[in-house]
Amino acid sequence: MFKLYSASNLQDAWLVHNLLAQNGIESRVLNENLQGGLGELPFTQVYPEVWLVHKADQLKARELITEFEHPSADSRKIKCPSCAEENPGNFEVCWSCGHEMRLN
């Protein structure tokens, strides 16, 4: 296995892990339970980490992480077909009513 990413929190580690999985890249989240040792262990040693199972996936995985860390700004606004509330163009679900947004 190959260490790919150190996250500042467990949520980001799982977001990266799931992003990789959606793109067919196998990974593991390690150090999930070490944050309880903070204070006894150096803070950099308790960060959750994402490890690649196959080092050959490294290039594609790094590209996906770059997109995750620096998402493109989508300035479009779209109206919810259910409640007519305005939503940012990158939303898949209306923030107000939870209706699925269909992009044309």
Task: Work out whether the CA dihedral 79, 69, 51, 39 comes out positive or negative.
Answer: negative
pTM equals 0.64
**Per-run averaged pLDDT (10 residues), the chain, 104 residues:** 90 94 96 68 77 96 91 79 89 90 66
pLDDT of residue 3: 92
pLDDT at 94: 92
Q: What is the pLDDT of residue 34?
A: 63
Place of tokens 């107000």: 96
Which tokens in the block code for residue 27? 């990974």
Rounded-to-integer distance, Cα 3 and Cα 89, Å: 34
CA atoms within 13 A on the CB side of 7: 23
Strand extents, DSSP E, the chain: 2-6, 27-30, 49-52, 77-79, 86-88
C-alpha dihedral over 79, 85, 91, 94, to 10 degrees? -120
